[in-house]
Amino acid sequence: MSEGKSGLVVALTIAATLGGLLFGYDTAVISGVTSAITHNFVDPRHLGRTDADFLSGLAISIALIGCAIGAGLAGPISTRIGRKSGLLIAGVLFFLSSLGAGYPEFIWGLFGGTGYHALPAFLAYRTLAGMAIGMASMLAPMYVAEVAPPEKRGMLVTFQQIAIVVGIMIVYFVNAGIQAGHTRAYLMTTAWRHMLASAAIPATLLIIAMLFVPETPRYLVLKDRDGEALALLKRLVGDGAAQRTLQEIKASLVQHTRPLLSFGWLVLIVGIMLSVFQQLVGINAVLYYAPHMFETMGASTNKALWETAIFTGVTMTLFTLVATFTVDRLGRKPLLITGALVMAGAMTFLGFLFDEHIVSVAVGQPGAGHGPSYLALVAVVLYIMGFSFSWGPVVWVMLAEIFPNSIRGKGMAIAIAAQWIMDFIVSLTFPMMDGNAYLNAHFNHGFAYWVYSACALLAAVFVMRWVPETKGRTLESIQHLWRPGETRPAEEDSEPVAP
């Protein structure tokens, strides 16, 4: 592929992964406002501890319900009106929901919905934001996978995760910058609004980008627009490979869409379980509650926000780059297995650090969770490193690759919807586990982390046993890995093939 054509592929990838940037931005922006949400919408209700923890967790994680809805809708949207148009819709939803979540009283207040009575409007706008995230989480990697040549596809699809973690890192710094120099009272009254509304800026960039990019060649073939598909393929892979690639796409779409189980149950189960395990390892419990975690270690509100930005955001960005430059060289399975084992070790270590006797011996500070525990910080950073070079980016690569062309929209929609449902469960249950008096009496706040550690070990076993290697294959050849009636995918040579 020539330098000019390579540049076009990269440009289209960057445009599409603005959806990933917004995905990360809007997902992590909530980390700066968790305490403000509780203060403004939950505390005034004077609920019991269990009810308050549940309502607080619901308000913080409600976007994830929208994510599941959005991911489910993205499948038919991608098939009927296109990958590009779906991302454009996601950008508009991002824009509207960001402003609405920051100022939920804007219209709701006309009906008496001010103060904590604006909670229903806040939940509605965050659900709308989640729908946009869910759509972007499916459509952006699908778009990239369908314009990328096979020998570069793994690297280019990891741009999605790079965009996600860059979005996370940016919003951590934005949150810290908005709060900088102000008291905690400012966060409770004003800063939280600015943090949530700030997502409207990158949403505008996504809307503009989607107005100028083309549709993917596979979607064009799906809609019998072969001439447009061939012209675009010539720009993407060159004149020599364009006709051959077009014929491969057409052969895989003899039936433009097939029943979901045309290739057996295993491909769907693998897609769903990759998505589920990506969340069961506990990543979003760490991302959402990182400032809270640093505060429990003794940091002030401002310091906790900066520590989150520096240690969490920067670490995720750097180690996602490791995946970018190794996923096409080392393969998908080795990264997933290694990352799962690193996360399991880090979470086990972190869980033990909440035992006051272990902490007092290790760092010379009595009382678990009080004072700066640098060992706990090391465990969090190690965990984020493990996730960032493996289950963060590589799962998106796998989901974009493993489903055959004729069922990709439906398969990805189901798998990613399952991911967001599990994300919601993890995010909702973390504050309930962390605040449970019985669990804390017996496990010293370590219970949730040990659960995530066990899930990471199960994830490693699952990958070793059931997930095929897809490195270097064309999207059309990957469908031959899934053969109905077999208990596992056939082992085939996975050497790189020509674009």
The torsion angles phi and psi of 2, rounded to 5 degrees, stand at -70, 165
Listed in sequence order, the residues at least 6 apart from 245 whose beta carbon sits closer than 8 Å to its beta carbon are 217, 233, 237, 499
Gap between the Cα atoms of 409 and 218, Å rounded: 11
Gap between the Cα atoms of 60 and 68, Å rounded: 15
| Alpha-carbon torsion angle 150, 156, 157, 159, nearest 10 | 180
Please give the CATH topology (third level) of the domain spanning 3-213+254-481.
Growth Hormone; Chain: A; (1.20.1250)
Both tokens assigned to 11: 């440009």
Task: Give the CA count within 13 Å in the CB-facing half-sphere of 339.
Answer: 30
Residues in the chain: 499
* One-character DSSP codes across 113-124: --GGGGHHHHHH
Gap between the Cα atoms of 25 and 19, Å rounded: 10
pLDDT, tens digit, 9 for 90 and up, residues 445-460? 778 889 999 999 999 9
Which letter does DSSP use for residue 311 in this model? I
Q: How many other CB atoms are found less than 10 A from the CB of residue 54?
A: 18
pTM score above 0.75: no
Residue among 101, 271, 260 at smallest CA distance from 194:
101
Q: What is the pLDDT tens value at each position of the chain, 499 positions in all?
A: 454 466 777 888 888 888 888 888 887 788 788 888 888 898 888 888 778 878 887 888 888 888 888 888 888 888 888 889 999 999 999 999 999 999 988 776 555 566 778 888 999 999 999 999 889 888 888 888 788 776 677 677 777 778 887 888 888 889 888 988 888 899 898 999 999 999 999 899 999 999 988 888 888 888 888 888 888 888 877 777 788 878 877 776 655 556 666 677 888 999 999 999 999 998 877 766 666 666 655 555 566 666 666 677 678 778 888 877 777 788 889 999 999 999 999 999 888 876 655 555 444 444 444 434 567 778 888 998 999 889 988 888 888 788 887 777 788 888 888 888 888 888 778 877 876 777 777 777 778 889 999 999 999 999 999 888 877 776 667 777 775 444 444 444 444 333 3
Q: Which H/E stretch holds residue 425?
A: helix 408-434
For 110, counting Cβ atoms within 10 Å of its Cβ (0-12 exposed, 13-18 middle, 19+ buried), the class is exposed
pLDDT at 129: 92
Residue among 103, 72, 93 at smallest CA distance from 22:
93
